[in-house]
Amino acid sequence: MTTVLRFLFVIPIGFVLACFAAAFAMLWPFLELPDGALSDPFLVFELLVFFTAQAAQVGSAALLPWGLFMALSEIMGLRSILLHMGAGIAGGFAALRLSPGGAPTELSLQTAFVVAGLSFALVYWLVAGRAAGRWRRTAPTPAAPLPPFTS
């Protein structure tokens, strides 16, 4: 039952939260809000819509490659945070290089892409990646033979 719940809820929720984290990492450094702007409910709603739209774009771009990585990590039981962060960096660089119109030349945009990949990987690992592959049943290991009895 826990395996079914993991695949139906934990992994998809981890992916969605990771998309929101990557969207936040990509947009927040470029927002210039005046003082007290977050007290305006209409601006807060507008920011929520913008972050949700950016998260949907991140999710649509990352669904296939990250889905393959998630399947591999679940099947093989790969739980390493370093592996997930490496996949996030690789995903950030791949998204940067494959962006329409070529890679942006501004260093701030390149940094935002890489940080978005890292934040995506970290949030996914925190929610679902730490327990990757624990649903598999492992075969019991045979007990070591006892040493011969000597008197």
User: In this predicted structure, what is the pLDDT of residue 86?
Assistant: 92
* pLDDT for residue 89 is more than 80: yes
- Domain tally, the chain: 1
Q: 24 in a domain, yes or no? A: yes
User: In this predicted structure, what is the pLDDT of residue 113?
Assistant: 86
| Cβ atoms of residues 50 and 27 within 8 Å | yes
Q: 138 in a domain, yes or no? A: no
Q: 119 in a domain, yes or no? A: yes
User: In this predicted structure, what is the pLDDT of residue 134?
Assistant: 66
Q: 150 in a domain, yes or no? A: no
Q: Tell me, what DSSP letter sits at residue 151?
A: -
Range of the domain at 87: 12-31+43-131
Q: Is the pTM of this model over 0.85?
A: no
Q: What is the pLDDT of residues 27-76, one digit of tens each?
A: 888 888 778 777 888 888 988 898 899 889 888 888 888 888 888 888 88
Q: 90 in a domain, yes or no? A: yes
d(CA 136, CA 67): 19
Q: 137 in a domain, yes or no? A: no
Q: Where are the alpha helices (DSSP H) in the chain?
A: 2-5, 11-27, 41-76, 81-97, 107-127
User: In this predicted structure, what is the pLDDT of residue 49?
Assistant: 92
User: In this predicted structure, what is the pLDDT of residue 129?
Assistant: 76
Q: 126 in a domain, yes or no? A: yes
Q: 38 in a domain, yes or no? A: no
| Cβ atoms of residues 115 and 123 within 8 Å | no
